[in-house]
Amino acid sequence: MSMFDGLISKLKEESRTIVFTEGTDRRILEATSRLLGSHIMDVVLVGNVEAVKEAANSYGCRIDGAEILDPETYEGMDEMVNTMVELRKGKMTAEQCKESLLKGNYFGTMLVKMGKADCLLGGATYSTADTVRPALQLIKTKPGNKIVSSCFILVHEFVGGDVRLAMGDCAINIDPNEDELVEIAVETAKTAEIFGIDPRVAMLSYSTKGSGKGDTVTKMANATAKIKEAAPFLKVDGELQFDAAVNPTVAETKHVGGEVAGQANTFIFPNINAGNIGYKIAQRLGNCAAYGPILQGLNAPINDLSRGCDADEVYKMAIITAALS
């Protein structure tokens, strides 16, 4: 069974509702048609009702069963504004909240906050920051979490099965400190488990167990020690070079043992440069499908699309996002 077969089976057993913030976008509508046609989840489309329907008809998309909500005419807007004023705690007036809620990203996020939907997927036409900002302001981070982070799930398929890997943080935190790396590692391990990965976490570096020197080496070694203290149940080791993390022979040559060395499947990078480059090398040269960025640390699943995505990516990210709820 492929990763998506398993996720779809789970979603068909446990009904979920997803919000798409860009209801007239062709890719969103094509994915909506596919999700509804296969009875995978319920869908809320944000936008002018007639405009969404006209767009769907023009693209040949069947969206019967989708709920279309227009911020301009939404009956619960007053309640939504009042709730947002309370959440912003004096940082925004009612008028400013109303202005924000007329935008699809804020309106959709508030639908999740108020329990009208389980999760949200946006960003087909706007930036990651425009997805993350309302999520931080309204959904907020989970108790015990101070940051939002991200990971990618990479899948290499072959006849008879697949290999799945998790990589973080490749999209959000530019230069995380030791404590932030602890959060990133723990959250990435949790995400990995949802996608059928038994996480063995490697804290990556250009050094293996002190073979090299430098600030990032010290950072990854110290973060590893803090993770072992904060999450003693987690299989984690570092600092490790990538070859020592994935190749048993190299790990043995470099005198590294344990449950992670040579068999890691969950990789934490020292900064966004390494992470973004690393996952894209795996994607483009390693023939891995890359799914993400999957946002972590929030009280509800909110995920971001690439503006260059296609309808199939929207469909798959919707399944991933709903599976996280």
Q: How confident is the model at residue 83 (pLDDT cuts 50, 70, 90)?
A: very high
Q: Are 121 and 108 in contact (CB under 8 A)?
A: no
pLDDT at 1: 59
Q: pLDDT tens digits, residue range 105-133?
A: 999 999 999 999 999 999 878 877 888 88
Q: How far apart are CA 190 and CA 128, in angstroms?
A: 22
Instruction: Give the pLDDT confidence score for residue 325 in this predicted structure.
Output: 86
Instruction: Give backbone dihedrals phi and psi of 102, rounded to 5 degrees, phi first.
Output: -80, -10
Instruction: Give CA–CA dist 109/121, Å, rounded.
Output: 9
- Three-state DSSP class for 307? coil
Q: What are the start-end ranges of the H helices in the chain?
A: 3-13, 26-37, 49-59, 77-88, 94-101, 104-113, 128-134, 178-194, 215-230, 242-246, 248-253, 272-284, 311-323
For the chain, what is the mean pLDDT?
93
Mean pLDDT computed over 63-92: 93
pLDDT-based confidence at 305, cuts 50/70/90? confident
Structure tokens at 187: 């959250």
DSSP state at residue 23: T
Compute how many other C-beta atoms are within 10 angstroms of the C-beta atom of residue 249.
10
Strands 149-158, 161-168: pairing kind: antiparallel
Residues 159-171 have pLDDT tens digits of 778 899 999 999 9
The pLDDT score that the predictor gives to residue 69 is 96
- Given this model, what pLDDT does residue 306 score? 78
Q: Is the pLDDT of residue 307 over 80?
A: no
What letter represents residue 188's amino acid? T
* Percentage of the chain modeled with pLDDT above 70: 99
pLDDT band at 285 (very low <50, low <70, confident <90, very high): very high
Pairing of strands 289-296, 149-158: antiparallel
